[in-house]
Amino acid sequence: MDFELSEELRAIRDTARDFAAERMLPQAARWDAECIFPVEILREAATLGFGGITVRDDVGGSGLSRLGAAVIFEELAAACTSTAAYISIHNMAAWMIDRYGSEAQRRRFLPDLTAMRSFASYCLTEPGAGSDAAALQTRAERQGDHYRVNGTKAFISGGGVSDVYVVMVRTGGSGPGGISTLVVEKGTAGLSFGKQEKKLGWNSQPTAQVILEDARVPVANRLGAEGDGFKIAMAGLDGGRINIGACSIGAARACLDATREHMGQRSQFGRKLAEFQALQFKFADMATELEAARLMIQRAAAKLDAGAEDATLHCAMAKRLATDAGFAICNDALQLHGGYGYLKDFPIERYLRDARVHQILEGTNEIMRVIIARRMLAP
Ligand SMILES: Cc1cc2nc3c(=O)[nH]c(=O)nc-3n(C[C@H](O)[C@H](O)[C@H](O)COP(=O)(O)OP(=O)(O)OC[C@H]3O[C@@H](n4cnc5c(N)ncnc54)[C@H](O)[C@@H]3O)c2cc1C
């Protein structure tokens, strides 16, 4: 067991760290305040290989491991958590096409996606099917060489701006076995979008409903066989949960670094904050939780890379722990900044707002507990 990153991963981490510090951090507050989706910066990130991190290289991907992806997302999120999280969702959708698509589908969609000339969204949630995703009702009726699709997907990250929507639809009966996955392209007749949602955080990426009304989607756009859709959606989420957990770690690390600096500068009662033992203990706990979260994310990534049977269990555990710890560390950092932590002049509140949603999406942390308990308590 080796707990150190390889030389290759250290080089990738340094590349991501430099890019994040130079190209993302200086603009992150403005993207947040003005709800700017930073297309040009995303395309720059793609030139470094971040548009298809785990996608195979014959279609422009970087062919990296899940561990490599976790390392990259921690670095990007330490600069702009919201933008990093969108890149993670784009990567999840691109990976699903790479893993489950035919050669023709891979060659058609992935060169543009890996270069981020086009952007991808993942569409599972519906107004009536959130945590109970297998109850989704978007219906796809086969009519010759295409499907006629009707339904609404809710909360879709990238909704309205993405070019490619990986959509879970019902082609068969109720339950997970009746679900299939279709790639729906922007411009498809019958595809439209709801209003842009106004959110607590994640402001550098749009969120909207994706509405399908008699949308004609070619059968050639189906990933895998009819009925495979739920399995494909869940496989995407295993990796997605590692990435979103890594984004929480990045946000928490940025807050911890800012707190260290603040505690060394700010004096009250004639002493630096760093000299109060109560605050030292709080800081020590934050640093310890961060390290524990990173270890769990990296272990889950290694499990997924190894194709371990219990990888899904470890992804759920790591996502639950890293996103809870990540938010708690941001919140403690805000407390240790006193009133300054609450001001937009300091970045803590942005990280806090951005990290909050990680406890809700890609499966809420209650659903992570359901997955863990189901797997560990099964008779
Ligand atoms: C900003 C944002 C971006 C998102 N992006 C996407 C996206 O790109 N693609 C996509 O498909 N979805 C996306 N989502 C949707 C997200 O995945 C869902 O919000 C999430 O799965 C929860 O579903 P829900 O909101 O319907 O809550 P509900 O399922 O209604 O849950 C409400 C509460 O009940 C709890 N709960 C529900 N069932 C159980 C149970 N069995 N046991 C214990 N507790 C339970 C939940 O944990 C939660 O606390 C996004 C959401 C947000 C806020």
CATH number of the domain residue 88 falls in: 1.10.540.10
Domain presence at residue 135? yes
Residues 339, 241: one domain?
A: yes
Has residue 49 been placed in a domain? yes
The model's pLDDT over 9-55, given as tens digits with 9 standing for 90+, comes to 999 999 999 999 999 999 999 999 999 999 999 999 999 999 999 99
Region 306-319 average pLDDT: 98
Does 2 map to a domain?
no
Q: What is the pTM of this model?
A: 0.98
> Who lines ligand 1 at CB under 6 A?
89, 121-125, 130-131, 155-157, 199, 202, 207, 357, 360-361, 364, 366-367, 370
Contact 28, 202 (CB under 8 A): no
Which is the closest atom of ligand 1 to the Cα of 132? 29
Q: How confident is the model at residue 234 (pLDDT cuts 50, 70, 90)?
A: very high
Q: Are residues 149 and 243 in the same domain?
A: no
Say if residue 90 is in the same domain as residue 157: no
Domain final residue pick, 203, 227, 251? 227
Write the CATH number for 126.
2.40.110.10
Residue 191, in any domain of the structure: yes
131 in the same domain as 192: yes
Mean pLDDT in residue range 152-172: 98
Ligand 1, atom 2: closest residue by C-alpha? 155
| CB contact set of 265 (below 8 Å; sequence gap of 6+) | 272
In percent, the amount of the chain with pLDDT more than 70 equals 100
How does pLDDT run across 178-216, given as a tens digit for each residue? 999 999 999 999 999 999 999 999 999 999 999 999 999
Q: Are residues 12 and 124 in the same domain?
A: no
Query: Ligand 1: which atom is nearest the Cα of residue 365?
Result: 47
Q: ∠ CA 231-97-39 to the nearest 5 degrees?
A: 125
Output the residue whose Cα is nearest ligand 1's atom 44.
366
Q: What is the average pLDDT score of the chain?
A: 98
Rounded distance from Cα 152 to ligand 1 centre (Å) = 15
CATH number at residue 281: 1.20.140.10
Q: Does residue 299 lie within any of the structural domains?
A: yes
In a domain, 354, yes or no: yes
Asked which of 184, 205, 227 is the last residue of a domain, the reply is 227
Domain count of the fold of the chain: 3
In sequence order, what are the residues at sequence separation of 6 or more whose Cβ sits closer than 8 angstroms to the Cβ of residue 264?
A: 272, 273, 274
153-168 b/e with 16+ CB inside 10 Å = b?
bbbbbbbbbbbbbbbb
| Distance in Å, CA 295 to ligand 1 centroid | 26
The domain of 156 spans 120-227
User: Is the domain of 36 the same as that of 80?
Assistant: yes
In Å, how far are 107, 156, 232 from 361, measured between CA atoms?
A: 30, 11, 17
Atom from ligand 1 closest to the CA of residue 153: 11
The residue whose CA is least distant from atom 30 of ligand 1 is 130
Q: For residue 379, name the pLDDT band (cuts at 50, 70, 90).
A: confident
Question: Looking at residue 329, what is its pLDDT?
Answer: 99
Note whether 236 and 155 are same-domain residues.
Answer: no
Residues 237 and 371 placed together within one structural domain of the fold: yes
* Residue 1: inside a domain: no
Which atom belonging to ligand 1 lies closest to the Cα atom of 89? 8
Protein residue closest via CA to atom 19 of ligand 1: 361
CA of 38 from ligand 1 middle (Å) equals: 26
The residue contributing the CA closest to ligand 1 atom 17 is 361
Note whether 192 and 221 are same-domain residues: yes
Q: Please tell me the predicted confidence (pLDDT) of residue 1.
A: 78
Residue to mutate, 131, 230, 244, ligand 1, most ligand atoms under 8 Å from C-beta: 131
Whether 378 has a pLDDT exceeding 90, the answer reads no
Kindly state whether residues 312 and 282 are assigned to the same domain.
yes
Q: Residue 136 burial (CB < 10 Å; 0-12/13-18/19+)?
A: buried
Over residues 89-99, the pLDDT tens digits come to: 999 999 999 99
List the catalytic residues: 362
Same domain for 219 and 163: yes
Write down which residue in 227, 256, 286 finishes a domain.
Answer: 227
Are residues 203 and 243 located together in one domain of the fold? no
Residue 158 near residue 200, CB atoms below 8 Å = no
Please indicate, yes or no, if residue 105 is contained in any of the structural domains: yes
What's the gap in Å between 157 CA and the centre of ligand 1?
13
